[in-house]
């Protein structure tokens, strides 16, 4: 484990939020969370519906009016879901093509700081056959992705936040977001490191050393006063299992963790295979997961 570098003085700004939806009930579950972040950070919310390639391909070049009606229907569907956005600056966007590539293109064009998306949380054969758009986007994105899974039962106000780290450079980026969200929502921050039993030391010796390192790690970012407000936990076992257990027993409203980053075909393949720890947590958690990729 290496010592963290000092945090830059500039605060995290989530000014432009992209909410991606296919208008299904599952995807719309993520809308209140997108609206909440936009309100808290005084940001703008972009609501994007992408007509998939297979639907667009069925529209002949002579039937552009049909495509227009499909896109108008998407806008009407989004307008119907805007009851929670009366006090949020927002814009509706519709497009067609590859879901992943078009969403990432929109994120670049609109200078998005955060992507919010819902997922069915498919696993096993269903995931192998259908894949996961949310995981594909999270794997390919250079921006943090807030994923709302199928078992969500928490509200959009983050009252208790769990930040999980493996002390990698990616998890340090996630730490900055965890600090910002904790301050913005005035929420206690539970900091977790999961040891998967690879340590040569027994837990009774490894745990206190890891806690001490963890607190030094926190101090180097935001100072001892803030770090002392954070609860630090070291757990042993399966990473996803321990995260889910703590999230359930500690009434966590938001889980923040690093996510692997893949591009192109690798991201597409990954979306059909057994999930990363972040996706495993998304599939089972009752709270949303903020997956933070490497820059």
Could you tell me if 105 and 166 lie in one domain?
A: no
Could you tell me if 110 and 187 lie in one domain?
A: no
pLDDT at position 214 is 78
Could you tell me if 108 and 160 lie in one domain?
A: no
The domain in which residue 241 lies consists of 153-295
Could you tell me if 69 and 159 lie in one domain?
A: no
The CA distance from 208 to 187, in Å, is 25
Is residue 143 included in any domain, yes or no? no
Could you tell me if 187 and 295 lie in one domain?
A: yes
pTM of the full structure: 0.79
The CA distance from 258 to 194, in Å, is 13
Could you tell me if 160 and 113 lie in one domain?
A: no
Is residue 137 included in any domain, yes or no? no
pLDDT at position 265 is 39
Is residue 138 included in any domain, yes or no? no
Q: Which two tokens stand for residue 184?
A: 């913005």
Instruction: Please count the structural domains in the chain.
Output: 2
Could you tell me if 285 and 167 lie in one domain?
A: yes
**Tens place of pLDDT for every residue, the chain, 295 residues?**
434 443 433 467 899 999 988 777 777 888 889 999 999 999 999 988 877 655 545 544 444 444 444 455 545 555 555 556 777 888 888 887 777 788 888 999 999 999 998 886 444 333 333 335 666 777 777 889 999 988 888 889 999 999 998 888 778 888 889 989 998 999 999 999 888 766 666 677 777 878 887 777 777 766 555 666 788 888 888 888 999 999 999 999 999 988 765 554 343 433 333 456 777 888 888 999 998 987 6
Is residue 142 included in any domain, yes or no? no
Could you tell me if 216 and 282 lie in one domain?
A: yes
Could you tell me if 68 and 158 lie in one domain?
A: no
CATH number at residue 216: 3.40.50.620
pLDDT at position 4 is 40
Could you tell me if 104 and 187 lie in one domain?
A: no
Could you tell me if 112 and 162 lie in one domain?
A: no
Is residue 140 included in any domain, yes or no? no
pLDDT at position 267 is 39
pLDDT at position 128 is 30
Q: Which two tokens stand for residue 174?
A: 């996630």
Least Cα distance to 120 among 290, 293, 294, 279 occurs for 279
Is residue 252 included in any domain, yes or no? yes
């Amino acid at each position: 484990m290496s010592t963290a570098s000092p945090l830059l003085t500039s605060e995290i700004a989530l000014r432009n939020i992209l909410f991606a939806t296919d208008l299904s009930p599952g995807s719309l579950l993520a809308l209140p969370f997108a609206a909440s972040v936009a309100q808290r950070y005084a940001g703008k919310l972009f609501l994007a519906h992408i007509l998939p390639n297979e639907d667009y391909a069925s529209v002949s070049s002579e039937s552009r009016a049909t495509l227009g009606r499909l896109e108008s229907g998407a806008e009407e569907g989004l307008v119907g879901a805007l009851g929670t956005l009366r006090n949020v600056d927002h814009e509706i966007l519709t497009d067609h093509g590859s879901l992943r590539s078009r969403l990432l293109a929109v994120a670049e064009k609109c200078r998005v700081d955060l992507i919010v998306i819902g997922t069915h949380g498919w696993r096993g054969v269903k995931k192998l056959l259908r894949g996961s758009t949310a995981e594909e986007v999270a794997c390919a994105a250079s921006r943090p992705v807030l994923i709302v899974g199928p078992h969500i039962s928490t509200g959009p106000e983050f009252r208790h936040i769990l930040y999980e780290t493996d002390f990698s450079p990616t998890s340090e980026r996630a730490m900055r977001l965890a600090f910002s969200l904790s301050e913005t929502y005035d929420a206690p921050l539970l900091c977790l490191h999961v040891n998967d039993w690879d340590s040569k030391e027994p837990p009774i010796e490894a745990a206190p050393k890891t806690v001490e390192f963890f607190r030094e790690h926190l101090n180097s970012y935001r100072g001892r006063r803030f770090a002392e407000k954070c609860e630090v936990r070291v757990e042993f076992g399966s990473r996803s299992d321990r995260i889910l257990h703590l999230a359930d027993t500690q009434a966590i409203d938001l889980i923040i963790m690093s996510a692997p980053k893949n591009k192109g075909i690798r991201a597409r393949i990954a979306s059909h295979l057994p999930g990363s720890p972040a996706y495993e947590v998304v599939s089972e958690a009752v709270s949303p997961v903020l997956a933070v990729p490497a820059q």
